[in-house]
């Protein structure tokens, strides 16, 4: 009776082989009725406690000796020894006694069964200990330090469990990126070499496209793969490309629903709106990476996250923000020419000039007077020795 039914069900499916067999036997007995078992055991215990002094009185002639003898026998053999054994081997002893208890239950059923049914009506059934989410989180936290060392949970496992259990309680507004912090393009933006370098620096595969006069009105997603064979000299506008549609969710949508949405594989990015009447008013975006980060409780870093950290450090030093700067390499000036680090082509320079090579093949020239201003716009500087 001290065995928790939920714990027995866990042992029956995931414990050791012996524990699975023992738990299955005890569960089969409990299914006959916990109140029936309880009443039968209590009646048997009461009958034993009342009958033992009478029997000893007949044998020993009654009196104080019979009372003391029955008390010692009940306390030692009926309480101390059974409880000390069952404290360590409760499941094994319970499984071993299943047959005896079942036989006794049916012997005493004319009295025990009606009382058990009455208890079922008055008290109800007890199916074991059921934990709330907060209690489960605390239970998993305890498993970091309790139990055997090989059975303990590490911090990452506990963090993931906490994240999974709390996803239904957190809304999209909690994990979204605010629209003011989102890198987006205007539908009228011209895809020249400067804009393409900005896109390359960001490192995104999908970029939200907003209406020219409203940054919160996202009209679609621009797929960067469309620029694979694009020539920046064409100077097309973003709206000239086919934009992928984006799904809009309300800011109160829970994170678990959003994760299930991403699992379907249809969407990689969703837009978050705080208005049901006007879903075009976007307040933030959510990506598949955001949902996974919320699940595991940690940020997933890549090479572009490192660049963003560099941008923050540059901003703190009053340098030009990185998201306004295309990816460039500076080739130190030469009296006659410089060599492109990517193509190896010589470029004729005037005295004191510096050549800046863009990722997409274009070249900018800087005079000596401009070099101190332009140095704030570069990411890496390398000197290339050239033969005179």
* Same-domain pairing of 97 and 231: no
Could you tell me if residue 61 is inside a domain? yes
Could you tell me if residue 360 is inside a domain? no
Q: Are 179 and 215 in contact (CB under 8 A)?
A: yes
Could you tell me if residue 190 is inside a domain? yes
Could you tell me if residue 148 is inside a domain? no
* Same-domain pairing of 41 and 175: no
CATH number for 223: 3.10.580.10
Could you tell me if residue 241 is inside a domain? yes
**Tens of pLDDT along the chain (388 residues)?**
667 788 888 888 887 888 889 889 988 888 888 889 999 999 998 888 888 888 888 787 767 888 888 888 888 888 888 888 887 888 888 889 899 999 999 999 999 999 999 988 888 777 677 788 888 888 888 888 877 777 788 888 888 888 888 888 899 999 899 998 999 999 999 998 899 888 888 888 899 999 988 888 899 999 998 888 888 888 899 999 989 988 899 999 999 999 998 888 778 899 999 877 776 789 999 998 888 888 888 887 766 555 554 454 444 333 333 333 333 333 333 333 344 334 444 445 444 444 544 444 444 554 444 443 444 443 333 334 444 3
Could you tell me if residue 135 is inside a domain? no
* Same-domain pairing of 86 and 204: no
Write out 192-251 in H/E/C secondary structure.
CHHHHHHHHHHCCCEEEEEECCEEEEEEEEEEHHHHCCCCHHHCCEHHHCCCECCEEEEC
Q: Are 184 and 285 in contact (CB under 8 A)?
A: no
Cα three-residue angle 228-327-339, rounded to 5 degrees = 95
Could you tell me if residue 283 is inside a domain? yes
Distance CA 159, CA 137 (A): 9
* Same-domain pairing of 88 and 188: no
Q: Examine the fold and report which residue of 296, 318, 340 is the final residue of a domain before the chain moves on.
A: 318
Distance CA 180, CA 284 (A): 8
* Same-domain pairing of 174 and 274: yes
Q: Examine the fold and report which residue of 267, 302, 318 is the final residue of a domain before the chain moves on.
A: 318
Domain count, the chain: 2
pLDDT in the model for residue 133: 85
Distance CA 297, CA 291 (A): 10
Q: Examine the fold and report which residue of 287, 318, 349 is the final residue of a domain before the chain moves on.
A: 318
* Same-domain pairing of 117 and 173: no
pLDDT in the model for residue 336: 36
* Same-domain pairing of 107 and 233: no
What is the domain range of residue 270?
Answer: 168-318
Give, to the nearest 10 degrees, the angle between helix 155-166 and helix 288-296: 120
* Same-domain pairing of 117 and 200: no
Which of 98, 93, 123, 131 has the alpha carbon at shortest distance from 10?
A: 131
pLDDT in the model for residue 88: 81
Could you tell me if residue 143 is inside a domain? no
Q: Are 180 and 210 in contact (CB under 8 A)?
A: no
Which of 323, 379, 363 has the alpha carbon at shortest distance from 198?
A: 323
* Same-domain pairing of 114 and 172: no
Cα three-residue angle 215-228-214, rounded to 5 degrees = 5
DSSP 123: T
| DSSP sequence for 266-331 | S-SEEEEES-SS-TT-EEEEEEHHHHHHHHHTS----HHHHHHHHHHHHHHTTPPPGGGS--EEEE
* Same-domain pairing of 314 and 189: yes
Take residue 184 and report the two structure tokens written for it. 């987006």
- Strand pairing category for 282-287 and 177-178: antiparallel
């Amino acid at each position: 009776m001290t065995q928790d039914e939920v714990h027995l069900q866990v042992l029956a499916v995931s414990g050791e082989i012996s524990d699975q067999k023992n738990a299955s036997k005890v569960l089969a007995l409990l299914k006959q009725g916990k109140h029936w078992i309880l009443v039968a055991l209590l009646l048997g215990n009461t009958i034993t406690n009342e009958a033992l002094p009478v029997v000893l009185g007949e044998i020993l002639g009654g009196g104080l000796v019979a009372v003391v003898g029955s008390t010692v026998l009940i306390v030692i053999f009926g309480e101390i020894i059974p409880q000390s054994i069952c404290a360590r081997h409760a499941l094994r002893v319970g499984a071993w006694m299943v047959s005896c208890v079942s036989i006794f239950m049916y012997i005493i059923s004319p009295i025990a069964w009606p009382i058990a049914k009455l208890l079922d009506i008055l008290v109800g059934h007890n199916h074991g200990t059921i934990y709330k989410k907060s209690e489960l989180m605390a239970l998993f936290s305890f498993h970091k330090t309790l139990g055997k060392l090989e059975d303990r949970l590490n911090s990452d496992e506990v963090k993931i469990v906490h994240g999974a259990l709390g996803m239904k309680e957190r809304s999209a507004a909690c994990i979204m990126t605010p629209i003011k912090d989102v890198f987006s393009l205007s539908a009228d933006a011209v895809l020249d070499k400067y804009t393409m370098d900005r896109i390359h620096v960001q490192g995104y595969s999908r970029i939200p496209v907003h209406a020219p006069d409203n940054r919160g009105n996202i009209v679609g997603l621009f797929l960067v793969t469309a620029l694979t064979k694009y020539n920046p000299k064409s100077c097309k506008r973003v709206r000239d490309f086919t934009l992928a549609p984006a799904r809009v969710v309300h800011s109160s949508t829970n994170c678990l629903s959003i994760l299930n949405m991403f699992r379907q594989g249809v969407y990689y990015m969703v837009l978050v709106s705080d208005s049901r009447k006007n879903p075009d008013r976007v307040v933030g975006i959510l990506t598949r990476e955001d949902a996974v980060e919320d699940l595991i409780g940690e940020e997933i870093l890549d090479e572009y996250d490192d660049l963003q950290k560099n941008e923050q450090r540059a901003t703190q030093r009053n340098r030009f923000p990185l998201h306004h700067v295309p990816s460039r390499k500076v080739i130190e000036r030469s009296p006659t020419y410089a060599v492109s680090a990517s193509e190896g082509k010589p470029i004729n320079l005037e005295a004191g000039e510096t050549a800046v090579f863009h990722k997409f093949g274009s070249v900018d020239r800087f005079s000596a007077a401009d070099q101190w201003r332009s140095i704030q716009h570069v990411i890496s500087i390398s000197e290339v020795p050239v033969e005179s």
